[in-house]
Structure 1
């Protein structure tokens, strides 16, 4: 007698091969879903309590090697265990109103159980539905964007956007100022003269969601008057003090991007102790600001690949995408043909970075990123459709 035994990378995927009672599936999911929560800057005495409670529940927690001797004041904590074990610890910590343990309990519960909205309302009756990874197509009405093939002249615009729409683009992102490393700012009138006619032309010919890529409040407001649905601000509403007023007035979706410095200087020796932690803290502050005005349901975050980041920072951001998903707001990644791909592939130019871009796209779809901002709509959308059948 012999038995066939196979190993499952996703253990719960085997439930449909067993014939279990459907009512038991949530129970197995709690017992079988392994969870790791990274909790930052925990007082060392609280960290030791969390570790002991995780051990008592049958899991474990990793803390700094000096936590047990209290030679440090704070430590990050990585909890390791099933969902059921975490539930036990969350309940225990909730009853401990000291050293911040009850607050940690609440934060753990929110991280595990709060959900990102499945759709986002937009002006003019439109909405974004996050049932798959969406593709945002880049339309640069600029003479100097880093990828020459993405620069669109006015007489080419209709054909350029028509091709995107025919290929199934979800969002068209129109920008009138290059924000490549080392770029200079474009005067307001010049950006308006580039962007507004392009928006009018697209609106008149296509029923598609439109985003305006700008950090200037006047450009955003005039674009919103024309019916734009999303403001894509590389400064996360920081460069122009009136941008928040515009957003509050028109209530578009807002893409908040992280950037260290500004495009002219952002690649001059950027440095991070922990790039993901710093970006997360930045987003928490920005989201809290919009929450005060009741607009947190319109927020999309973009970690800003290539904006004040070294090669290793960009790679680290991508490796740790799950942490950005923990904020429970839609996540956008703009990686298309960027220099980190060229660096990884031996220094190839933007014109040769399509395959590298598609590799990152596939990875992001598997990580359930909500929106991908790309130059090559048809190719990227094929990746999205194929990977979506496999996950």
Structure 2
């Protein structure tokens, strides 16, 4: 008799094939689920302790080559080990009230062992669940959005939304000001005239969650009064100081997006040393700002694909999209038909970027994205449903 050996990527999924006692699965999960954590900007003396304790637990940690001689002041630390080994690390560091080791232990515990937001209660009392990836359909009541097919005239609005609802959309995102690179701001009055009637019309005719894509507090307030339940703010609450007051009063879902600069100037030579690191620090600070007003459980984060990023930055964000899950908030990805897709595909125009968009959707959903913001609902719904079916296979 010959034997067959295969390498598996998720050993926990194969426990049933071995025939283990179901009661033992949590034990195996603790021992068999391998994880790595990237801990940024650790004082070198603390990093050496982390490495020592990971080795003592049976795992390991990578630090800067000059950490042992302390020729550097700080280093990133990459831990490598099982959940059980990381639990031991947390237990040991928690008892060390010096060199910020107990603070690092707290952050590791939060990242690995705390549950993130799995649903958001909206102003209507409706609960938006993230048990599966959600599709946010783009409705631009603008004359100048970068993808012409996404611009919706008032007399075509109901038909457009009806099609999205029939195709399985979860959220309708209505925007009245283009934020494409180089775009000019529109007046408050003009944006109100575009957005509020559109929100009213959609809510009157469809039982669907509506998001308003705006950074202006007055537009957000009037849209919420008209029925919107999510504020999608590309400035992460930085452009209008009154936005915080609107959120405190109405308690909608809140999308915090990263952007370098503003739409008109954001693509003028943006630069990052480590784009994911910078965005994570930014989003962490903005989440804390919302937590201070008691709405931390309503936050969704968006790394801001295309907003002040180069091609290499956008690809890096997508490649590392799972790292944003460490902030324990639902992750939204808005990459639909954007210019970086055209750049990769020999500079095809927005009209020819559907298949590229679907590739990005598939990759992001496989790696933890909770919401994908798209122009083409039906096609993206199909991608997400197939991925979910594959995930559930054999369970």
Query: Shorter chain as normaliser: what TM range?
Result: over 0.9
Partner of 2:75: 75
Partner of 1:363: 363
CA RMSD of superposed structures (Å): 0.8
Match runs of 1:148-187 below 5 Å:
148-187=148-187
CA–CA distance in structure 1, aligned partners of residues 172 and 128 of structure 2: 13
Match runs of 1:258-277 below 5 Å:
258-277=258-277
Match runs of 1:64-143 below 5 Å:
64-143=64-143
Can you list the C-alpha shifts for 1:145-174, whole angstroms capped at 9, x where unaligned?
000000000111010000000111000000
Partner of 1:193: 193
Q: Retained in 1: the 8 A contact 2:48–2:67?
A: yes
Q: Retained in 1: the 8 A contact 2:51–2:60?
A: yes
Can you list the C-alpha shifts for 1:352-383, whole angstroms capped at 9, x where unaligned?
00000000111111112110000000000000
Number of residue pairs aligned between Structure 1 and Structure 2: 391
Which stretch shows the higher mean deviation, 5-14 or 39-48? 5-14
Secondary structure, counterpart of 1:337 in structure 2: coil
Match runs of 1:24-39 below 5 Å:
24-39=24-39
CA–CA distance in structure 1, aligned partners of residues 73 and 190 of structure 2: 53
Cα distance, 1:6 vs structure 2: 2.1
Q: Retained in 2: the 8 A contact 1:55–1:61?
A: yes
Cα distance, 1:261 vs structure 2: 0.3
Partner of 1:338: 338
List 4+ stretches of structure 1 deviating above 6 A: none
Unaligned residue ranges in structure 2 (runs of 5+): none
CA–CA distance in structure 2, aligned partners of residues 38 and 250 of structure 1: 37
Can you list the C-alpha shifts for 1:294-346, whole angstroms capped at 9, x where unaligned?
10011001000000000111111111112110000111000000011111111
Partner of 2:202: 202
Secondary structure, counterpart of 1:289 in structure 2: helix
Partner of 1:301: 301
Q: Retained in 2: the 8 A contact 1:38–1:78?
A: yes
Cα distance, 1:285 vs structure 2: 0.9
Partner of 1:388: 388
1:225 is the counterpart of 2:222: no
Secondary structure, counterpart of 2:343 in structure 1: helix
Q: Retained in 2: the 8 A contact 1:115–1:328?
A: yes
CA–CA distance in structure 2, aligned partners of residues 390 and 368 of structure 1: 14
**Superposition TM-score, scaled by structure 2 size:** 0.98
CA–CA distance in structure 2, aligned partners of residues 143 and 154 of structure 1: 11
Can you list the C-alpha shifts for 1:110-160, whole angstroms capped at 9, x where unaligned?
111111122110011222111100000000000000000000001110100
Can you list the C-alpha shifts for 1:182-233, whole angstroms capped at 9, x where unaligned?
0000011111111111111111110100000001111111111111100000
CA–CA distance in structure 2, aligned partners of residues 225 and 136 of structure 1: 21
Partner of 2:45: 45
Secondary structure, counterpart of 2:301 in structure 1: strand
Partner of 2:373: 373
Secondary structure, counterpart of 1:389 in structure 2: helix
Cα distance, 1:286 vs structure 2: 0.8
Partner of 1:256: 256
Partner of 1:214: 214
CA–CA distance in structure 2, aligned partners of residues 40 and 117 of structure 1: 23
Cα distance, 1:64 vs structure 2: 0.5
Partner of 1:21: 21
Q: Retained in 2: the 8 A contact 1:123–1:227?
A: no
CA–CA distance in structure 1, aligned partners of residues 226 and 159 of structure 2: 21
Partner of 1:9: 9
Cα distance, 1:4 vs structure 2: 2.3
Q: Retained in 2: the 8 A contact 1:142–1:176?
A: yes
Unaligned residue ranges in structure 1 (runs of 5+): none
CA–CA distance in structure 2, aligned partners of residues 173 and 63 of structure 1: 43
Secondary structure, counterpart of 2:390 in structure 1: coil
Q: Retained in 2: the 8 A contact 1:358–1:383?
A: yes
Partner of 1:312: 312
Can you list the C-alpha shifts for 1:35-62, whole angstroms capped at 9, x where unaligned?
1011111110110111111111111100
CA–CA distance in structure 2, aligned partners of residues 330 and 9 of structure 1: 25
Secondary structure, counterpart of 1:336 in structure 2: coil
Q: Retained in 1: the 8 A contact 2:321–2:368?
A: no
